[in-house]
Amino acid sequence: MKKSLGVHIILEFFGCDPNVIGRRDYVEKIMAEAAQKANTHTIGTFFHQFKPHGVSGVIVIEESHISIHTWPEYGFAAIDFFYCSDHVDADKALEVLKEGFKPARISRLEFSRGAVKELEAHQINPEQVLSFV
């Protein structure tokens, strides 16, 4: 039995090349490749180039989302990867991200989200759920 509904990985990449993490087109390409290699299914994407510098973007996946915010002036990228499927291979995504952004140092925190025991203790009767259809 599953212990949680999903996994949330928070990555901090330090010492990245500012010319790499400052380009929306390149950041989007690497993020899309990471999502694909992790065996996720993309629903939609949105990436934005800030002036004078920085990129923010999100890839919505059937399994949840992958997002990034970059600060080229600090060589820093903050990446979130939240997924709710046993078929996702987060380590393959991380390999792509490391190869693409070439950080000097990485911080990784991983959390379980939606503990099943806690959810079961607060489960709602399906008849109580409102229908908006």
Q: What pLDDT is recorded for position 41?
A: 96
Predicted pLDDT at 6: 86
How do the domains of the chain map onto residue ranges?
A: 4-128
**pLDDT of 44-57, one tens digit each?**
999 999 999 999 99
Q: Which of 4, 65, 67, 84 is catalytic?
A: 84
The one-letter amino acid at 76: F
**CATH architecture under which domain 4-128 falls:** 4-Layer Sandwich (3.60)
73: nearest Cα among 32, 18, 4: 18
pTM: 0.84
Euclidean distance between CA atoms 125 and 90, whole angstroms: 34
**DSSP-derived pairing of the beta strands 76-83 and 4-14:** antiparallel
Confidence label for 97 from pLDDT (cuts 50, 70 and 90): very high
DSSP conformation letters of 94-133: HHHHHHHH--SEEEEEEEEEEEHHHHHHTPPPGGGSPP--
Catalytic residue among 4, 64, 85, 131: 64
The verdict on whether 69 is a catalytic residue reads yes
